[in-house]
Amino acid sequence: MTKAERFTRWVQDLVARLRQEIVRGRGQEGNTAVVSQEPTVIGKELQMLKMGNRDEKDAGNDFRHGRENSSAGARSRSSEETVIGENISIEGTVLADEDIIIEGRMKGTIETKSHCITIGPKGHIEADVDAQDVVISGMMAGNIIARNKVQINKEADFTGRITAKRIAIEDGAYIKATIELEKEEKQKAQASEPTISEQSAEPQSAPEPSSMPPA
Amino acid sequence: MHLNLRRCLRHSTMHLSAVESRPLRGSIVREVGEYESRMLQRYFAHLAKCEKPEILDIGPISGNNISVFLSLGAKLSVCDFILRLTNKMPGQELEKALGILDYRDYRFDGIHVWDIPDHLETWLLTDLVKTWFALLKPNGLLVMMAGPSSTPQPYLHIARLVRGTTVQLQEIRAKELAYFHRSNRDIEIVMRPLEQRTSYLCTNGEREFLFGRP
């Protein structure tokens, strides 16, 4: 049996098992396997390791999705992004070579070094993330390494560390974070420019404070 | 935690949890003016002397301020302490909110608390000052503001840095938030063992204080 046939059979078994799960009790919390009323949402460039409690070496688990995955109902919003849907829960390591949008639950590690990870408003992840860009609108606990930009929207609830080249945070977000910017070469060149306090020497229309008398 | 402290925490929660169901996030009511902050000029001068300064901002969070402090080359820790205190934590879990400032001692060159002390009872503020003192490095500075008068200030303020050290005050809706007006003398006492380095009275009535760890 070829690897592709083994994979196809594994996917069929998985779908059958999921259907049984759904019939028994739809999407119980704590499942570490993919649980969805719809077929699994996994893009063609996504690799998943250690899914659930299964052994990584298991032929059925160590897979790289190809076109045959579409027969299992893979759903992508475009050919270059993967959506992990609201009713999906994943535990383990996700390696991807395309954008990922997470609306479900995720625990572990996500790596997509040259692409964007978006945690949607209903997304809930406890994971370390390594990506080009990260956009957070949901709940996230973990550390982020972004080669470019991290954006945290006001709906977000973030706890962890952020290392990025750029960061944008909306007022009102729940954040407990330690943030460090990686300096770009251009930024280093600008290091000799005036400091913040020097820039404030611009004329101000606002009244200046006066020294307060001792209390 | 002492029983007395627990009782006080619950009492304080009666004020603070009143805004629990409010859409506090990002609900900026209005801008209440701008002024040039001399305190921040001194604070930035202090940070400029530190090599790779570490700063703690306990909120409310302003994305603009985060950008400004990061542009100084600082390692910035942000913790929306007051929002968690008011919005996220039901009364019985307030101790957990206090525990959120779980950073290691002697870590920070600077801490900003903006106008949070105005909304905390003295016993709670005293407890927090001990925490801030522990978190600051020797010679580290703490920035705080206090409201202008004894008129209750039912709003939290975001001190948003708009141009250099020009501060734009923005009010966030938190109508039933407790307010405790303190005189300059009271503030100096409650902030011990931190030493008051300087204070400014702005023409809009806002008071700015710079405290340091000896």
Q: Distance of CA A162 to CAs A29, A147, A175, B80, Å?
A: 29, 11, 11, 16
Interface predicted TM-score (ipTM): 0.78
Give CA–CA dist A122/A144, Å, rounded: 19
Distance CA A71, CA A175 (A): 41
Residues of B with Cβ-Cβ distance to A178 under 8 angstroms = 75-77
Q: B54, B77, B108: which to substitute to probe chain A, counting the most A Cβ within 10 Å?
A: B77
**Which of B75, B163, B184 lies nearest to residue A215, judging by beta carbons?**
B184
User: Closest by alpha carbon to B145, among B175, B113, B108, B169?
Assistant: B113
Q: How far B5 CA lies from chain A's nearest CA (Å)? A: 25
**Three-state DSSP class for B187?**
helix
Interface membership of A144 toward B (CB under 8 Å)? no
For chain B, the average pLDDT equals 77
CA distance A149 to chain B (A): 12
Query: Would you say the pTM of this structure is higher than 0.90?
Result: no
Query: What DSSP string runs through B57-83?
Result: E-SS--HHHHHHHHHTT-EEEEE-HHH
Any chain A CB within 8 A of the CB of B136?
no
Chain B contact for A215 (CB, 8 A cutoff): yes
Nearest-CB residue to B35 (from A167, A195, A209): A209
User: Are the Cβ atoms of B34 and A206 closer than 8 angstroms?
Assistant: yes
Q: How confident is the model over B166-194, as pLDDT tens digits?
A: 888 887 765 456 788 888 888 889 999 99
* Residue position matching structure tokens 């879990």: B93
Residue A206 touches chain B, beta carbons under 8 Å: yes
Nearest by Cα to B69 from B58, B79, B55, B82: B55
Q: What percent of chain A has pLDDT over 90?
A: 33
Cα dihedral A190, A192, A195, A200 in deg (nearest 10): -90
Q: Using CB atoms and an 8 Å cut-off, which of residues 50-79 of chain B contact chain A?
A: 60-64, 66-68, 70-73, 75-79
Q: Residue A72: is its pLDDT beyond 50?
A: no
Look at B70 and A179 and tell me if their CB atoms are within 8 Å: yes
Q: What is the pLDDT of residue A22?
A: 61
Average pLDDT over residues B99-103: 82
The pLDDT of A46-52, averaged and rounded, is 53
Say whether residue B188 is in contact with chain A using an 8 A CB cutoff. yes
Tell me which residue in A169, A170, A200 faces B165 most closely, judged by beta carbons: A200
Task: Give CA–CA dist B30/B48, Å, rounded.
Answer: 32
Q: How far is CA B53 from the centre of its chain?
A: 19
State pLDDT tens for residues A170-191.
Answer: 877 788 999 998 876 545 445 4
